[in-house]
């Protein structure tokens, strides 16, 4: 009788442990799916703010209760074609950034900084954002270096419901200058903190 009780107790403990692990995994997956998701920086486009291989946490739920602001670093789906190269959704002069994305979103994720929102007027001079006629203070940005994509002096207006994204590494970023502004529905969430490597842990 004592042996049977011990066996039942052990079985109950095992079932309880399995349930605890299952619930914990479910909560972890739920948090990642709906609240906070980790993201690894894949390229140099956000240097010096974010380095290749650095990991950030992305707030997925915030986008459901508010709109992105200029200066936010966000993870999003770019327009289809952006992952293969510079594909704009409409023809435009070389003096002007792409002001229309392709119709479909790509399956990949990008991370960039919001530099303009719906209705804003934008042009780029020597890699610097001129927003609504004012040059922005961008101490976080690396110099453009005079290469392709540094100067788009012809002003454009950002369409309703769209956001213009640029990397902080202005001379080495494939961004909205080439494939257009991003619809708000394609934005996954705002990156709010870094958690790896340990020496770079902190808020963004």
The CATH number that applies at residue 51 is 2.10.109.10
User: Count of domains in the chain?
Assistant: 2
pTM of the model: 0.82
Question: CA–CA separation, 159 vs 202, rounded Å?
Answer: 34
51 and 130 inside one domain:
yes
Mean pLDDT across the chain, nearest whole number? 86
166 and 189 inside one domain:
yes
Question: What average pLDDT score do residues 27-49 get?
Answer: 75
30 and 73 inside one domain:
no
Q: What is the pLDDT of residues 86-119, one digit of tens each?
A: 789 999 999 999 999 999 999 999 999 999 999 9
106 and 51 inside one domain:
yes
Q: Are strands 134-135 and 152-157 parallel, antiparallel or unpaired?
A: unpaired
Nearest to 176 by CA among 112, 90, 106, 95: 112
Which positions are catalytic? 45, 112
- Output the pLDDT for position 29: 43
Structural domain containing residue 11: 1-34
117 and 23 inside one domain:
no
Q: Hey, what are 178's tokens?
A: 């080439």
Q: What is the pLDDT of residues 122-131, one digit of tens each?
A: 999 999 999 9
89 and 13 inside one domain:
no
Comparing 154 with 19, which gets the higher pLDDT? Answer: 154
119 and 138 inside one domain:
yes
71 and 142 inside one domain:
yes
Cβ–Cβ under 8 Å, residues 184 and 195: no
Beta strands in the chain (DSSP E): 36-40, 55-59, 73-76, 110-116, 121-125, 128-131, 134-135, 152-157, 162-166, 182-183, 187-196, 202-203
163 and 195 inside one domain:
yes
Burial of 67 (0-12, 13-18, 19+ CB in 10 A): middle
Q: What is the pLDDT of residues 51-88, one digit of tens each?
A: 999 999 998 876 656 789 999 999 999 999 998 877 89
């Amino acid at each position: 009788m004592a042996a049977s009780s011990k066996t039942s107790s052990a079985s109950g403990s095992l079932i309880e442990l399995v349930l605890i692990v299952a619930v914990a995994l479910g909560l972890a997956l739920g948090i990642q799916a709906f609240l906070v998701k980790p993201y690894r920086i894949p390229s140099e486009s956000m240097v010096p703010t974010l380095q290749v291989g650095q990991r950030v946490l992305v707030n997925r739920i915030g986008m459901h209760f508010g709109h992105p602001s200029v200066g936010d670093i966000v993870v999003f789906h770019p327009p289809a074609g952006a992952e293969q190269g510079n594909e704009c959704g409409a023809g435009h002069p070389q003096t002007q950034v792409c002001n229309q994305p392709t119709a479909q979103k790509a399956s990949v994720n990008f991370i960039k900084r919001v530099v303009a929102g719906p209705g804003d007027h934008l042009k780029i001079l020597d890699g610097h954002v001129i927003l609504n006629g004012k040059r922005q203070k961008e101490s976080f940005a690396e110099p453009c270096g005079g290469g392709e994509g540094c100067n788009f002096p012809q002003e454009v207006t950002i369409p309703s419901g769209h956001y213009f994204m640029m990397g902080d590494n202005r001379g080495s970023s494939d961004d909205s200058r080439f494939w257009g502004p991003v619809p708000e529905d394609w934005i996954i969430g705002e990156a709010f903190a870094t958690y790896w490597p340990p020496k770079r842990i902190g808020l963004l």
